[in-house]
Each structure stands twice: as structure tokens, then as C-alpha cells.
Amino acid sequence: MNINWIILSLECKTNENGLTNVVYKVYWKCIATLIDRETEYTAEMHGPLEIAPPNPDNFTPYEFLTKEQVVTWVKDEFGVEKTQEIYDFLQNNINEQINPTTVVLAPPFEN
């Protein structure tokens, strides 16, 4: 299963403790992709996440942020357990697509 974190947008405070454009909320999406017998399956989860205020001594100006840095913030804020829960949810979703345990059927009668 391939995992891709996408950063949709960053919500910033224009000024905080003398710092400008301080990210405080990340809108993220995590997409899992799996190819099984030449069929591609995908699952995704997304949402906003408030992150902790930055350390002024280790502050990266907004224009120098990288995707990798912001994804690290998201994973750090979630923690190992919650990040794994996201991956498990995506894996379970893909497993259900490959081997469904429920189906939606039309009624066996006329309406």
C-alpha cells in the first residue's frame, strides 16, 4: 500500500509573538493506493488539524516551508498511535473494496 500525504492549505496567524504568517492549522489529506491483480484501489481520509505554536528559536518562515516539514508536523501532532490508526483505517477500507463484506442490492420485487 502506498501512502501519500497532501497538504491542502495552511491557516496562519498574521502575527504571533513577533513572528509573521505562523501556521496554526493544517488542512491535510492522506491517500492510500494499492494495486491488486491490475486493479487500483484507493482510500482517503482528510481534515483540519490544529498544531502547536512554533518555537521562536526554530521558526521557519512561511515562504521556506516544505511539504515534508508540514507533513512531519501533522504526524507529530497526531502521534504514532493516531497516525497508525489512520493507516489502519485506509488499509481496512481498501480490504473492504477488494473483498466486500456487504453489498447494496435492489429489492427482489417491483415497487
The residue count for the chain: 111
Look-up: residue for cell 521558526?
A: 59
pTM (predicted TM-score): 0.87
Q: What are the DSSP calls for 30-61, one per residue?
A: EEEEEEETTEEEEEEEEEEEE-PPPPGGGPPP
- Which residue type sits at 106? A
Tens digits of pLDDT across the chain (111 residues): 999 999 999 999 999 999 999 999 999 999 999 998 899 999 999 999 999 999 889 999 999 999 999 999 999 999 999 999 999 999 999 999 999 999 899 999 998
Q: How many CB atoms lie within 10 A of CB 26?
A: 20
